[in-house]
């Protein structure tokens, strides 16, 4: 009898992660036997935990905060989208070495496509404003540029926003937001008090608010956004879609995300 394939997620904290339930549902779609575990190393113990995992036959890992930059350094091979994201959230064992990739941007776009279709949303001018300029914001900005959006930034530290724009200039132009321009999409990547920015933005008709957080963390911003936008979504769909992209990298099989249920 063959052994199950071993996967996992690395983060600190990690007890809250839905990834084990998510990937077990993916695996059942294809009749694949997997073991998917949570790993919570210290910063100093990150490389040792990963070495132990891969040297003992592990096939792939998801990586979450605060280790996405550490995973970028750890990987032997890096995809272009991981380079642009300056982070890695998926590690894949390959004969050539450990491959590092970033599936966050693709996961966001796929979820956005599903919501456009399901709610008949038309981003008339494809203009998006992004709140924040941290690691996950970089992934989203990259994905939006590749999808043809005009991308604007609002960030507390202007120099950080300007650096992000410079780093991704080979993909397109990112500008600091000017209230004279109406936005089709607002994406929140900051943890708290994002609702204070809503009054600084001009919104197009049928505008969409998307919070990369999910659950209680997304509540305050999305509730406030109801007064400014026609549709409000949290990041649970992105979590599922980026996980599906990871699963595809590991197995070559891309699951049907429409059947996934992460509610307890």
Annotation-wise, does 214 bind a ligand? yes
Annotation-wise, does 64 bind a ligand? yes
The partner residues of 36 in beta bridges, in order of sequence, read 7
Cα distance between residue 116 and residue 245, in whole Å: 19
Residue 97 contacts residue 118 (beta carbons within 8 Å): no
Cα distance between residue 205 and residue 200, in whole Å: 16
Q: Are strands 34-39 and 5-10 parallel, antiparallel or unpaired?
A: parallel
98 closest CA partner among 121, 75, 79: 75
Annotation-wise, does 242 bind a ligand? yes
Annotation-wise, does 158 bind a ligand? yes
Cα distance between residue 138 and residue 167, in whole Å: 9
Annotation-wise, does 105 bind a ligand? no
Annotation-wise, does 160 bind a ligand? yes
Q: Cα 179 vs. chain centroid, distance in angstroms?
A: 27
Which runs of consecutive H residues, i.e. helices, occur in the chain? 19-30, 46-55, 68-74, 80-85, 104-118, 135-146, 158-167, 216-225, 236-251
How many residues in the chain? 264
In the set 38, 68, 115, 226, the catalytic residue is 68
Annotation-wise, does 193 bind a ligand? no
Annotation-wise, does 80 bind a ligand? yes
Annotation-wise, does 136 bind a ligand? yes
Long-range CB contacts for residues 250-257, cutoff 8 Å, separation at least 24: 250/5, 250/7, 250/59, 250/60, 250/92, 251/5, 251/30, 251/32, 253/30, 253/32, 255/25, 255/26, 255/29, 255/30, 256/29, 257/110, 257/114
Annotation-wise, does 156 bind a ligand? yes
CB contact set of 217 (below 8 Å; sequence gap of 6+)? 191, 211
Element (H, E) at 79: none
Annotation-wise, does 157 bind a ligand? yes
Annotation-wise, does 159 bind a ligand? yes
Active site residue 68: yes
Annotation-wise, does 132 bind a ligand? yes
Binding-site residue numbers for shikimate are: 17-19, 64, 89, 104, 214, 242
Binding-site residue numbers for NADP(+) are: 80, 132-136, 155-160, 212, 235
Q: Active-site residue numbers? A: 68
Binding-site residue numbers are: 17-19, 64, 80, 89, 104, 132-136, 155-160, 212, 214, 235, 242
């Amino acid at each position: 009898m063959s052994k199950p394939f071993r996967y996992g997620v690395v983060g600190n904290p990690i007890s809250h992660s839905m990834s084990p339930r998510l990937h077990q549902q993916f695996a059942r779609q294809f009749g694949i036997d997997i073991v998917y575990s949570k790993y919570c190393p210290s910063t100093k113990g990150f490389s040792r935990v990963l070495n132990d995992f891969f040297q003992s036959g592990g096939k792939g890992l998801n990586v979450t905060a605060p280790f996405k930059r550490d995973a970028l350094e750890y990987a032997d091979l890096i995809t272009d989208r991981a380079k642009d994201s300056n982070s890695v959230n998926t590690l894949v064992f390959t004969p050539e070495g450990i491959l590092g990739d970033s599936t966050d941007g693709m996961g966001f776009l796929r979820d956005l496509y599903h919501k456009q279709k399901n709610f008949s949303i038309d981003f008339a001018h494809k203009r998006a404003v992004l709140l924040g300029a941290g690691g996950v914001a970089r992934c989203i900005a990259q994905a939006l540029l590749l999808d043809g959006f005009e991308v604007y930034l609002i960030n507390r530290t202007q120099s950080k926003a300007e650096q992000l724009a410079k780093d991704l200039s080979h993909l397109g132009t990112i500008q600091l937001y000017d209230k004279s321009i109406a936005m089709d999409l607002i994406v929140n990547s900051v943890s708290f008090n994002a609702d204070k920015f809503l009054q600084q933005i001009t919104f197009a008709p049928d505008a969409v608010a998307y919070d990369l957080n999910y659950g209680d963390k997304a509540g305050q911003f999305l509730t406030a956004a109801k007064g400014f936008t026609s549709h409000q979504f949290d990041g649970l769909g992105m979590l599922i879609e980026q996980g599906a992209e990871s699963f595809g990298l590991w197995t070559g099989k891309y699951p049907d995300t429409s059947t996934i249920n992460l509610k307890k």
